[in-house]
Amino acid sequence: MSRIFVVVWFSKAFVVPALALIVISGLLAMTLLRTSFEATSSLADAVCGKVIAIDPGHGGTDPGAIGRGGLTEKDLVLDIAKRLAALMNRVAIYTVLTREGDRTLAGGQDADIAYWKREDLDKRIEAARNAHADLFISIHANSFPEPMWSGAQTFYHSKSGDSKHLASAIQEQVVARLGPNLRKIKPGDSYYILRTATMPAVIVEVGFLSNPREEAMLGDPDYRQRMAEAIFHGTVEYLVEKYRSEKSARESHLKPPGEAATGGGSLKTTDLTLRAEEGEMILYFGGPTNFDDSLMPEIRKAPGDYSRADLRRKAICIVRELISGPAGESVLSPTIPKGTSLRDLWITPDGVAHVDFSSGLSKNHWGGSRSEELTVYSIVNSLTELPDIKKVQILIEGRKGSTIAGHIILDTPLGRDEGLIEARK
């Protein structure tokens, strides 16, 4: 608490000299030049006094993803978060770190992360809300089953125009400063942090620990500093842009742009001209290349008397085939980790398939929020190809509200997400 007090006192006492210093030192010269920002006082208004919650993912007994060289997500994201906070404090932006040490935020801890992760994530949002944070920036690292995947990527919530604009500004800076990187921003509506945050929130995945080259770069303090600078400059760009648009809206007596509704235009499976014939099933696996990190369909001939089986038997068959992974000659990536088994599956009259997996689904998962999302929706989308299954509730060891890799809490039945499916024509 004393740390926050010092920052507040500092900014109140030195706000004018501090802002003069910004301009003199040219710390934000790039921002100023690129946005043709007219008045220095406006820049001050845009950033000064803003409160930003910085959330280093994982911590304590939850290491997050782990690189082959041993670098852990929890350590590297904490380091980047602290560097980012230092940069922001220098321009009189207040910061709140959701954790400052190697710890989780949940109280009494079960041995199994799935049982306390939700409380941990809730406390991160609570810390941001208590501090009246204007923005929430969660920092993570990614990991995929194949080492070739690389590139930092920012995720937003599709219901929040501000979240999308912030993600876009950060991604632009990350690409410009640390490229080459062809990754674009993506919606991550199922991530618990993004769907429960009460302020515009983004998740910055700073790179892939499963890629040896990127793990080595993330292990370098200079690279982490440049990553923090990229996130910082992107955030400032966003704040300045938002201030400008609100100011011009005020001046022209127009209402400021509201939360832009995004989304729409999502792909239907029928657009893929894919249709399972009698005795066939459509399964979803991970894309084949670095830039196809979406779900891609595979039509597979079902074993045995699938076409005559009842709904439950069909669903069990689909899950078993998903667990077995893409076909031998396929270039697609598996979404279910090895050592996972199906414990039980039942379908309630409301069309919800309850699928109970063994703990291998979370214990053996490679980590990373995007790969967790692909795992979840490979199951949901494959099962909802059956017309009588509307939603899917995933359970782990019989338990609802679990998590596979700590970013998505499985507390509610999930509907199909067509937006995650890549069209290959």
Interface residues with Zn ion (CB under 5 A) are 57, 64, 140
CB nearer Zn ion, residue 140 or residue 416: 140
Residue 144 or 243 having the CB closest to Zn ion: 144
At 325, which amino acid appears? G
Q: How far is the CB of 367 from Zn ion (least distance, A)?
A: 6
Q: What is the DSSP letter of 190?
A: T
In the complex, minimum distance from the CB of residue 264 to Zn ion, in angstroms, rounded to a whole number: 29
Alpha-carbon span 244 to 11, nearest angstrom = 23
Alpha-carbon distance 71 to 58, whole Å?
A: 14
Report, in Å, the least distance between residue 194 CB and Zn ion: 13
Question: Least distance to Zn ion from the beta carbon of 401, Å?
Answer: 19
Q: Quick one: 7 or 76, whose CB is closer to Zn ion?
A: 76
Identify the DSSP state of 186: E
Q: Are the C-beta atoms of residues 46 and 240 closer than 8 Å to each other?
A: yes
- The distance of closest approach from Cβ of residue 368 to Zn ion in the complex, given in angstroms and rounded to an integer, is 6
d(CA 171, CA 205): 10
Cβ nearer to Zn ion, comparing 140 with 354: 140
Of 140 and 157, nearer to Zn ion (C-beta) is 140
Strand order in the sheet with 342-347: 342-347, 352-357, 391-396, 414-415
Distance CA 374, CA 368 (A): 10
Q: Which residue number is nearest to Zn ion in terms of Cβ?
A: 140
Instruction: Give the nearest distance from C-beta 145 to Zn ion in angstroms.
Output: 16
Q: Which residue has the tokens 């939360």?
A: 259
The CA radius of gyration of the chain, in Å to the nearest whole number, is: 23
Output 63 or 161, the one with its CB closest to Zn ion.
Answer: 63
Minimum Å gap between C-beta 140 and Zn ion is 3
Q: How many CB atoms lie within 10 A of CB 272?
A: 17
Rounded CA-CA distance 7/339 in Å is: 49
Closer Cβ to Zn ion, 140 or 224, answer by number = 140
